[in-house]
């Protein structure tokens, strides 16, 4: 019944129609709250562990993006009601994109962000994703998902740059992270798109816990074409720079 409900909803049926279809097939009236909880992923017959193990988690662009965000602004935590993967940020379109892609990875509807003060939040529970993404994130463990294909790599980098990238006045794209290994990994992946970067360097000598790298202006058209930003204000700055210098 659960799988039928998901399928019927995907075909665009209303709750009323779904209830009728289920009744026709199984002779049971399920209530609208149950349907709603199933569709939002709040509950399921799989006990919130819809992807039962890491072996069954499939590489995809959506997963690549989620992993990239997780290494940036995203977080994981363990609470009484489950293992949480989430993002809090002030750019609405960023949190929406994360929620949409996280929903796809978990085989459920997009997770619609909610607002707390000026911050947007999107969270979901998944034991399997938690196992993959909990801290400290093991780069060896995420590699096969991130490097699955060019599209997965690009989505991973986009998630990372949406989180911690920025465009300077002079048209350099910077990427910050507290983890040196993450930046070294990003540098390696960028190179596979022909994008050269400089760094990682410590952000300031007093604080060795933060690092950055930057992409030089000459490779920005490639960055724009292959990676780019979901965050509108960052993408706009990049486009403005490229237009100003006749590269777009």
Q: Which residues bind Zn ion (CB under 5 A)?
A: 59, 148-149, 152
Q: What's the closest the beta carbon of residue 177 comes to Zn ion, in angstroms?
A: 23
What are the Cα distances from residue 75, in Å, to 42, 114, 136, 176, 233?
19, 16, 11, 16, 23
Q: In the complex with Zn ion, which residue's Cβ is closer, 77 or 149?
A: 149
Q: In the complex with Zn ion, which residue's Cβ is closer, 166 or 190?
A: 190
Does residue 153 have a cis bond before it (omega within 30 degrees)?
no
Q: What's the closest the beta carbon of residue 58 comes to Zn ion, in angstroms?
A: 9
Q: In the complex with Zn ion, which residue's Cβ is closer, 50 or 148?
A: 148
Joined tokens for residue 212: 């950055």
Q: In the complex with Zn ion, which residue's Cβ is closer, 112 or 149?
A: 149
At residue 165's C-alpha, the angle toward residues 208 and 59, to 5°, is 105
| CB atoms inside a 10 Å sphere around CB 130 | 17
Phi, psi of 85 (to 5 degrees): -120, 130
d(CA 23, CA 47): 24
Cβ atoms 178, 73 nearer than 8 A: no
Q: In the complex with Zn ion, which residue's Cβ is closer, 32 or 149?
A: 149
Contacts with 81 (C-beta within 8 Å, 6 or more apart), sequence order: 125
Q: What's the closest the beta carbon of residue 179 comes to Zn ion, in angstroms?
A: 23
d(CA 89, CA 111): 15
Element (H, E) at 5: helix 2-10
Contacts with 83 (C-beta within 8 Å, 6 or more apart), sequence order: 76, 77, 125, 126, 127, 129, 130, 131, 134
Q: What's the closest the beta carbon of residue 152 comes to Zn ion, in angstroms?
A: 3
Q: What's the closest the beta carbon of residue 109 comes to Zn ion, in angstroms?
A: 23
Q: In the complex with Zn ion, which residue's Cβ is closer, 59 or 221?
A: 59
Q: What's the closest the beta carbon of residue 82 comes to Zn ion, in angstroms?
A: 27
Q: What's the closest the beta carbon of residue 69 comes to Zn ion, in angstroms?
A: 17
d(CA 201, CA 95): 29
Q: In the complex with Zn ion, which residue's Cβ is closer, 148 or 158?
A: 148
């Amino acid at each position: 019944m659960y799988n039928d409900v998901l399928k019927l909803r995907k075909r665009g049926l209303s709750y009323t129609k779904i209830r009728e279809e289920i009744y026709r097939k199984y002779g049971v009236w399920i209530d609208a709250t149950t349907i709603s909880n199933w569709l939002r992923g709040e509950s399921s017959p799989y006990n919130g562990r819809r992807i039962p193990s890491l072996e069954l988690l499939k590489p995809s662009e959506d997963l690549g993006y989620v992993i990239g965000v997780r290494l940036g602004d995203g977080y994981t935590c363990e609470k009484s009601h489950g293992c949480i993967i989430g993002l809090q940020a002030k750019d609405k379109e960023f949190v929406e994109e994360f929620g949409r892609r996280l929903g796809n990875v978990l085989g459920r509807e997009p997770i619609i962000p909610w607002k707390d003060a000026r911050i947007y939040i999107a969270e979901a529970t998944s034991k399997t994703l938690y196992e993959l993404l909990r801290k400290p994130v093991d780069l060896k463990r995420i590699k096969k998902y991130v490097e699955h294909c060019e599209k997965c790599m690009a989505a991973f980098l986009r998630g990372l740059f949406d989180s911690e990238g920025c465009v300077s006045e002079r048209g350099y794209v910077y990427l910050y992270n507290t983890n040196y290994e993450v930046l070294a990994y990003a540098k390696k992946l960028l190179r596979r798109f022909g994008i050269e970067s400089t760094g990682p360097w410590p952000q300031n000598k007093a604080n060795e816990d933060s690092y950055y790298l930057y992409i030089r202006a000459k490779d920005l058209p490639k960055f724009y074409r292959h990676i780019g930003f979901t965050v509108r204000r960052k993408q706009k700055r990049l486009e403005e720079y490229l237009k100003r210098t006749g590269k777009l």
